[in-house]
Amino acid sequence: MNILVINAGSSSLKYQLYNMNDESVLAKGRVERIGMESSILTHEVDDRPEVREVSEILEHTTAVRKVLDMLTNKRFGVLGSIEDIQAVGHRIVHGGESFKQSVLINDEVKLEIKKLFDLAPLHNPAHMMGILAVEANLPNVPQAVVFDTAFHQTMPKSSYLYAIPMVLYNKHKIRRYGFHGTSHDYVSQQAALFLGKPIEELKIVSCHIGNGASCTAIMHGKSYDTSMGMTPLEGLMMGTRSGDLDPAIVPYTIGKEDLTLNEVNSMLNKHSGLMAISGISSDMREIVQAMEDGNESARLAFEMYAYRIRKYIGAYAAAMNGIDVILFTAGVGENSAPLREKVCEGLTFLGIELDTERNKVRSGETRRIAKDGSKVEVLVVPTNEELLIARDTYRLLTTSSESN
Ligand SMILES: Nc1ncnc2c1ncn2[C@@H]1O[C@H](COP(=O)(O)OP(=O)(O)O)[C@@H](O)[C@H]1O
Ligand SMILES: CC(=O)OP(=O)(O)O
Ligand SMILES: [Mg+2]
């Protein structure tokens, strides 16, 4: 069975095509700048050179059409016809409280996702465009949705409630949801497999450090607490997001700088984090380079970024009464040895001892970076949200057709 996995953003659409017989990736790529003059489709097949096509793609339906054309293209494609796609799986950032697991799409599910537009205005409307675009191009192909929030639905009330009037939760569902759940779920299972221990026996702090970043306390295989909140803005300092801050800063800034609420929201989401403190970039590679060149703002940004991860690790050690494993994943977590070293620097009191040489070894595999004898295991685990989405889609289809 071939499954197309789609992660649709407001102006982008990433895709991966899986052959589920052996879980191999047949092709992958992305469409960027949807709705702008020169949209770019980048398409990759194994060891063949990357294909880039620039054209005007005004909306998601056209983007999906272009992807399907590329997948069936005589020169660059991997499929004889679009009939060779048996299912599509979508990443959906916000599933609210309605979705505790992945589901197949039907009208009711679409309605629920629409109801959540308010809670994730940057993400969910774009995902819906992706779903409708697939429907328009592949009307008879079943689609599944996999939610970033689902894994965190096991959190206890004491983790997910904010200390504000209960009416806000009861009426508007204002609470912590948490994100990157597909990733935290996948990497924690990979860590347990790597260590050869049942996940039910482990207390894991999973640090997903990419463009967006979050830490999750995973107790015995279940999310117990996580750093992102009602939206993906809370918690760690990120590339362009502020993470935790005193909420009183919002009205104060509006008054002092004569800004609108929308402007402050945009400042916190798009113009804060590494970008704001370094004044250089939101990309950790550029921050580390600038720091090595002696740039003090870059050093401060790097130290703040690492310090906040360290604080969450400490908090989650307290929350779970101990830690067995810390793991690093996603773009920064998998690739930045200096960041991992800085995070672990002040944690020896918890029994966390990093091996600085092992930490520097580059590899695409799950690996141990703690010293022999470190009380806590420290691992780097490559994430693969797309594979988990493809697996969930496959499982939903095969189990639902069995029960029919
Ligand atoms: N070699 C590297 N060293 C440090 N950071 C890296 C490296 N490679 C990628 N990154 C960081 O990873 C980030 C992207 O992470 P990723 O998990 O792909 O994010 P997203 O899925 O949210 O777009 C980039 O912004 C970049 O800062
Ligand atoms: C939820 C979230 O922050 O996603 P991303 O890391 O893809 O921006
Ligand atoms: Mg990501």
How many Å apart are CA 317 and CA 70, to the nearest integer?
Answer: 48
User: Which residue's CA is the nearest one to ligand 2's atom 5?
Assistant: 212
Of 393, 384, 354, residue with least CA distance to 208? 384
Report yes or no: 215 and 183 within 8 Å, Cβ to Cβ: no
How many Å apart are CA 282 and CA 243, to the nearest integer?
Answer: 14
b or e along 68-89 (b: 16 or more beta carbons within 10 Å of the residue's beta carbon)?
A: bebbbeeebbbbeeeebbebbb
> pLDDT tier at 81 (50, 70, 90 boundaries)?
very high
How many Å apart are CA 281 and CA 273, to the nearest integer?
Answer: 10
Type of residue found at 190: Q
Is the pLDDT at 404 greater than 70, yes or no?
no
Is the pLDDT at 403 greater than 50, yes or no?
no
User: What is the CA(21)–ligand 2 centre distance, in A?
Assistant: 29
Mean pLDDT of the chain: 95
- DSSP notation for 115-162: HTTTT-TTTHHHHHHHHHHHHHH-TTS-EEEEETTGGGGG--HHHH--
SS3 at position 75: coil
Nearest listed ligand to the Cα of residue 179:
2
> pLDDT tier at 400 (50, 70, 90 boundaries)?
low
Active site residue 392: no
Write out the residues surrounding ion ligand 3, Cβ under 5 A. 210
Report yes or no: 148 and 179 within 8 Å, Cβ to Cβ: yes
For ligand 1, pick from 13, 335, 362 the residue to mutate: most ligand atoms within 8 Å of CB: 335
Is the pLDDT at 9 greater than 90, yes or no?
no
- Which atom from ligand 2 is nearest to the alpha carbon of 210? 6
- Which atom from ligand 2 is nearest to the alpha carbon of 7? 7
> Which pLDDT belongs to residue 62?
94
How many Å apart are CA 333 and CA 382, to the nearest integer?
Answer: 9
- Residue 210 CB less than 6 A away from ligand 1: yes
Of 401, 28, 396, 331, residue with least CA distance to 180? 331
User: Which residue's CA is the nearest one to ligand 2's atom 4?
Assistant: 212
SS3 at position 266: helix
Nearest listed ligand to the Cα of residue 331:
1
> pLDDT tier at 294 (50, 70, 90 boundaries)?
very high
User: Which residue's CA is the nearest one to ligand 1's atom 22?
Assistant: 211
Rg (CA), the chain: 21
Homologous superfamily of domain range 2-147: ATPase, nucleotide binding domain (3.30.420.40)
Mean pLDDT of all residues in 194-206: 98
How many Å apart are CA 43 and CA 15, to the nearest integer?
Answer: 9
> Which pLDDT belongs to residue 319?
98
Of 306, 402, 404, 387, residue with least CA distance to 22? 387
Of 101, 140, 133, 132, residue with least CA distance to 114? 132
3-state secondary structure 314-370: HHHHHHHCCCCEEEEEHHHHHHCHHHHHHHHCCCHHHCCCECHHHHHCCCCCCEECE
Highest mean pLDDT (candidates 28-37, 114-123, 135-144): 135-144
Which residue, chain included where needed, has tokens 């496959």?
394
Element (H, E) at 67: helix 60-71
Type of residue found at 354: L
- Residue 93 CB less than 6 A away from ligand 2: yes
Which residue in 69, 107, 148, 225 is the catalytic one? 148
pLDDT, tens digit, 9 for 90 and up, residues 138-154: 999 999 999 999 999 99
Type of residue found at 177: Y
> Which pLDDT belongs to residue 36?
85
Report yes or no: 331 and 209 within 8 Å, Cβ to Cβ: yes
pLDDT, tens digit, 9 for 90 and up, residues 278-289: 999 999 999 999
Of 215, 237, 327, residue with least CA distance to 284? 237
> Which pLDDT belongs to residue 37?
83
Of 247, 223, 226, residue with least CA distance to 236? 226
b or e along 342-376 (b: 16 or more beta carbons within 10 Å of the residue's beta carbon)?
A: bbbeebeebebbbbeebbeeeeeebbebbeeebeb
Question: Is beta strand 2-8 parallel, antiparallel or unpaired with respect to 39-44?
Answer: unpaired
Chain region(s) in the chain for CATH 3.30.420.40: 2-147, 197-385
Considering the domain 197-385, what is its CATH architecture?
Answer: 2-Layer Sandwich (3.30)
